[in-house]
Structure formats: C-alpha cells, structure tokens
Amino acid sequence: MKPSFWRKANLRTAIGLSVLSTGGAMSYGAHAHPVVFADGTAIMGHHHGKMSGLEIVYSPNWYTGFGLEVEKSPKHSSLLGRASYLAWRGNFPDLQTNFYLTAAAGKKWQANDGEIQSRDKQHLSSLAQWNVEWDAEDRDYYGRIKYAQHFETERQRNDETLVRIGFAPYKANADEPAIWGMLEWKSKSNNRFQTAEHDVTPLMRYFYKNALFEVGSSLSGKFAFNYMYHFF
Amino acid sequence: MKNTIRFFAQISLILGGVLVTQTVLADDVKVSVNGMVCGFCAQGITKKLNKTEAVEDVKVDLENKLVSFKTLKGKDVADKDITELLTSAGYTVVKIERNKP
C-alpha cells in the first residue's frame, strides 16, 4: 500500500522542520522525556550518527504525556504517536525517581534497497512500540534504564536497551546553569537477539532553566546532539 | 509653614506605604517540598502556582528544598490548597510556614 499524498506531504513537512530546526545534524531515536509537567509542552530533538528525530510532547497533568515524533535516516523515515504514563514517582528530600510505561504506533517508510531516493522505491509499514523506563536523579547523580520493543509488520521485532549514568561536578540551583557529564550505552538487536549493535556515547549536558542540550561523540565515531526545550 | 507641609507629606507617605503593603501582601509562605531536583521541576511548580490568582513572586530553592511565594491580602491560599496544588504538580509537601509581613 502506498501512502496517500496527504500523509507523504505531512511527513515531508515534519521531517523538513526537524532537519531545519537542528541544523541538519543527525540523530538516534532516544526518546528523552516521556512526561513533561502538568500542562507543559516540550520540544525535543535527538541526533546520533545518520539518524535525526524531533518530538513534541504535551502533558495535561504530571503523570501522562502525549507525543508526536518524526525520525529520519538515509534509509528510512517514520512518524510515531506516543502515549506515556508515569506509573510511579518517588519524591525524596534530595532525590526523585520515576517509572514510566509507554506505547507508540505509527508508520515507517523504508528504502527497499540502498538510500531513499524516490518515493516509488519505498516500502511502507506499520510500526508499534512499547517500552518501560526508570530514572532516578538527585543534584549530583543521574541514572536511566530503558527497555523497548519495536514491531514492524512484515518485519522482525527489534529490541533496544539503553542505560545512562550522569554526574554533575557541582550542585546547581534552579536559576543557575547546570553541567552534567553523561555516559550512554545503547544496544539494539534485530530478529530477536540474533544480531546486535552496541554503542557507547559520552555526552556533556548543559542545562539552564527550561532549556537543555547535550553534545557528544560515540566510541564508534558518531556525532550525537540532543536538545530539549520546555515551553513555559 | 514649610516644616508643617514637610511633616504632613512625610506622614502621608508613611501611612500610604503601610496602607499599600497591607492591601497588597498578606502572607510570606515557605513550603518544604520533596522531589525537586532540577530546573524543570522548578518550572513546573512555578507554572502551577502562578495559575493561582492569589499567589505572587514564586521562587524555588533546590538547595534548601523550599518553594516560597507571597499571597495577596483578601485572597489567601489555605494550607490544604497549597498541598493540593503541589501534589497535582507531582511533588510531596513536607511543611508549610507562614510569615505575616
């Protein structure tokens, strides 16, 4: 089945905006902040190697988030709608910890062979995804673990595991700029763990009030750039 | 004559200042909150409290785990409402203190 003109046009617009908004940098599908805050809207971009993505998330309350994400690489482009539920939050004097459940569905345009050059040579498939995610953060340390499964019709299941740890060299207050050192390990396996890719990316995170960005380079040499902006 | 005018002008200014302060500000509220760790937490809490008409000048202090704000006279916010507001923002209220100006 070929995508309709409307769908193609909208995906193209969304991908164009994503690429423009990030200066053409490349991404990795690391969906960063599933729930914003009550009545909060955030825009997030993630780039790793040759993949780039952009997501907008709205949270009507503190425990749910609804997002729309576009992603593009030379071999595919996708559009995903996502719903996240903050199933549990622990508030401690110097620590916050969260457990999220997320489900997503959408469409993927995949090049049949080589890179995407013309729309006629693409393969359209449906996508579904679920993930569980836990994070914990105080003003010195940060930790995040995510496990996701991606399903594509007519294709195999992909599994993805992400682990992040971070350290802040100083404790920043709410109105001060914060700097974090981050280390990310990501594993992707296709065809039910028959083939797996691993990547480790050290990142520097800069965070000031409602804006955050991260810059790094993976050990395999892929440039990484992520950002997040919360609208007030 | 000049001294008399100056005296009355000073008295008027003092009384006016007191009157304005009493009309505008009621309480200085300090709330101890658990779960605040970053600027995004501060932003969410500030946004939530600023939606309340009686609240002004919201400040978040991560170091001391405090949210402070002022309330307008005649539009006071009860402790129960403050707890509800911050709970609905996703945080846990530990203690509420008030200082009358």
A92 vs B contacts (CB less than 8 Å)? 34-35
Q: What percent of chain B has pLDDT over 70?
A: 76
**Token couple for B52:** 């309340």
pLDDT at A95 over 90: yes
Beta pairing partners, B43: none
Judged against a pLDDT cut of 90, whether residue B89 lies above it is answered with: yes
Q: Which tokens in the block code for residue B55? A: 């609240």
Beta strands in A171-232 (DSSP E): 178-190, 195-208, 211-217, 223-231
**Residue range A9-27, pLDDT digits in tens:** 444 444 343 333 333 332 3
Distances A221 to A42, A50, A184, B84 between C-alpha atoms, Å: 29, 11, 14, 49
The predicted model scores a pTM of: 0.79
Mean pLDDT of the A105-119 span? 72
Strand partners, A104: A82, A129
Choose among A46, A24, A66, A91: nearest CA to A205. Answer: A46
Annotate A80-109 with DSSP letters as a single string. EEEEEEEEEEEEETTEEEEEEEEEEEEEEE
Q: Is the pLDDT of residue A86 over 70?
A: yes
Token representation of residue A31: 């969906």
User: From CA A101, how far away is CA B55, in angstroms rounded?
Assistant: 34
R_g (Cα) of chain A, nearest Å: 18
Q: What digits encode the pLDDT tens for the residues A57-69? A: 999 999 999 999 9
Count Cα neighbours of B93 within 13 Å in the Cβ-side half-sphere. 20
Classify the phi-psi angles of A193: left when phi > 0, otherwise alpha if psi is within -120 to 50, otherwise beta: left
Who's near A9: CB < 8 A, 6+ residues apart? none
Over chain A, what is the mean pLDDT? 83
pLDDT of residue A133: 97
- Residue of B40, B52, B91, B93 to mutate for A, most A C-beta atoms under 10 A: B40
Q: Which region among A148-152, B73-77, B84-88 has the lowest average model confidence (pLDDT)? A: B73-77
Give me the sheet containing B66-72, strands edge to edge.
Answer: B55-61, B66-72, B25-34, B92-99
Put simply, the chain B residues between 36 and 95 with a CB less than 8 A from any chain A CB are 36-44, 47-48, 60-63, 65, 88-92, 94
The pLDDT value recorded for residue A9 is 42
Task: Give the one of A92, A139, A171 whose C-beta lies nearest to B34's C-beta.
Answer: A92
Task: Identify the closest residue of chain A to B35 by CA–CA distance.
Answer: A91
Contact A67, A57 (CB under 8 A): yes
Question: HSE of A168 in the Cβ direction (CA atoms, 13 Å)?
Answer: 19
Rounded to a whole number of angstroms, the distance between the first and last alpha carbons of chain B is 36
Backbone φ/ψ region at B16: left (φ over 0), alpha (ψ -120 to 50), beta: alpha
Residue type for A72, please? K
Tokens of A175: 């109105």
